[in-house]
Amino acid sequence: MRSITRTLMFLCLVLGTIFVLFPFFWMTATSLKVEGKGMTFEFIPKRVEVLGPFKLQVGTAPEGKMKNDLTELTSDSSFTIGWSAPEADGITFEITDQDGNKKIESPSLNKDKNWIVANSLPSGNYSYQVTINRSWSAAWHSLYTLENFRKIALNPNYPFLKFLRNSFMVAFSTAFLTVVLCALAAYVFAKKEFPGKQVLFWTFMSAMMIPGMMFMVPQFALVTRFGWINTIFGLVVPHLANVFGIFMLRQMMIGIPDSLFEAARMDGASEATIFYRIVVPLVMPSLAILFLLTFVGQWNNFLWQLLVNTPESDLITLPVGLAMFRGQYETQWEQMMAASCFSVMPIVILFLFTQRYLIEGLTAGGVKE
């Protein structure tokens, strides 16, 4: 019975993992697809692909080229069918009448013959389908490509590298300064005594009950009054007051024994030395968590970065830049997903460097001696 339970639990975890990671898989696969196939539910390349059926009118259609391919009609009811598929090893055509009877089936043609079939049929309505045969290599390149990443990195109309630099500058500056300010404030609230300490602390805590969107209008008014539109100050300063960070670090610092501080003061250590040499190493996992959460939050912050930057600003960040791929009439999904993959990489790298502190911070206090 226990083995069945464990097996079911394992299957549930596997299904949950697939469900959670599927958007990431979709984003990565879409970024690698050729133009026009980004939103298709197709992940395995097809060696044999059947296209059609397409309509073909003989004798009653106007002369000229038909859509969908290179079909040409002439006045004597003759036609020439051509199909552009340079990656194919062979291609065949099959023409049927309106009753579904097969009228013409071409032999397998290769690219050296340009895949052209010429014949004559009585006037009427027909349909034809195209069967394309490819090698595995050609089939892979017909669906996947690295061209989207090259277009993103080298597109002169879309300075992606500048957007990436701006996002990193804003996210890193905000996260670093937030950690410094929150650590100093938490140390004061945890280990110092001053009049009104509890009232001030719980006033800060009550601010966490107010939705963040309610602060946006007064913050924008202050940023405008200070002249911080299109500046790094407008992007960074309004997000430095992190009440949650103060609360989290204060709870960690409360657990530090006061005897450590008394021994340090007896040895002549200053407050700065005590803070840097004793407090910071002991709460480093929590500092890493706060840095990571703040960095990710600012890296993905779209609305505020859109408000304080005008379209001609030199500080446009990646979330705002990604929105440029959404046009009025079309959306370049493949390039948008390629840029999204680029934007995920700094978060992955940051997690790899901080995962040890992250795990320690999340499990702190979970085991009692």
Distance between CA atoms of residues 245 and 179, nearest Å: 8
Identify the residue with better confidence: 32 or 120.
32
DSSP state of 239: G
- Report the pLDDT averaged over residues 123-128: 77
Return the pLDDT at 15.
92
Identify the residue with better confidence: 320 or 359.
320
State pTM to two decimals: 0.71
Neighbours of 182 (CB within 10 A): 26
Please answer whether residues 362 and 252 qualify as being in contact, where contact means their C-beta atoms are separated by less than 8 angstroms. Answer: no
∠ CA 255-367-185, rounded to 5°: 25
Return the pLDDT at 65.
54
Distance between CA atoms of residues 310 and 294, nearest Å: 24
Identify the residue with better confidence: 243 or 123.
243
Report whether pLDDT(109) > 80: no
Return the pLDDT at 175.
93
User: For residue 157, what are its two tokens?
Assistant: 């109309």
Please answer whether residues 255 and 279 qualify as being in contact, where contact means their C-beta atoms are separated by less than 8 angstroms. Answer: no
Residue type (1 letter), 184: L
User: For residue 62, what are its two tokens?
Assistant: 């106007």
Give all domains of the chain, ordered by start, each with its CATH number.
Answer: 48-143 (2.60.40), 152-363 (1.10.3720.10)
Per the listing, tokens 């291609």 go with: 91
- SS3 call for 64: strand
Tell me: the pLDDT tens digits for 253-294?
Answer: 888 888 888 888 888 888 888 888 888 888 888 888 889 889
